[in-house]
Amino acid sequence: MAGLLSSLVRETLPNYLSNLPVPDTFGGWFRLGFKDWLSLVPPTAVLAGLGYMSYLAFCPHGRPVPSRQSNQKIRKNEAKVVDTIDIEDIAEKAAFCRCWKSNNWPYCDGSHGGHNKETGDNLGPVVVRKKGN
């Protein structure tokens, strides 16, 4: 494997690059034929790919940064979302949301299922039940 890589870097790649039709002058670009332009596509694509990967790696401002907030929609106008539920008000058991995606907040409505499929996460509700049930 090392010999193959060495041969590629020392012989094949330099030979390939030296045979590319790169003009010596600016006007030479206009005299290239269709086959010449076609032969320049692969190295151009490789350089563009490397440039784009470098851009993504070293320019974090160029890509959207995911929100670090867990709560994306529940009572955003409040400084802190706090709910109090008396245990006496629960019939037998209740499932409470902890993914912040429920449309029936603070109770779980199963919204975590879509989130889990999309992200590979394993969120689920907090289930509170009365003792003896």
Per-residue pLDDT tens digits for 47-76: 999 998 888 888 766 666 666 778 888 889
Q: Are residues 83 and 35 in the same domain?
A: no
At residue 133, the pLDDT reads 53
Q: Are residues 87 and 45 in the same domain?
A: no
Please state, for a pLDDT cut of 90, what percent of the chain lies above it: 35
Mark which of 37, 62, 87 sits at the end of a domain: 62
Which residues, in sequence order, are CB contacts of 95 under 8 Å at separation 6+? Answer: 107, 108, 125, 126, 127
Using the predicted structure, report yes or no on whether residue 15 has a pLDDT greater than 90. no
Q: Are residues 6 and 51 in the same domain?
A: yes
pLDDT class for 103, splitting at 50, 70, 90? very high
Q: Are residues 25 and 52 in the same domain?
A: yes
Q: Are residues 87 and 57 in the same domain?
A: no
Residue among 39, 121, 37, 8 at smallest CA distance from 113: 121
What is the number of structural domains in the chain? 2
Residue among 56, 62, 25, 21 at smallest CA distance from 38: 21
* Domain of 34, in residue numbers: 1-62
Q: Are residues 74 and 52 in the same domain?
A: no
- Residues belonging to the active site: 80
Using the predicted structure, report yes or no on whether residue 107 has a pLDDT greater than 80. yes
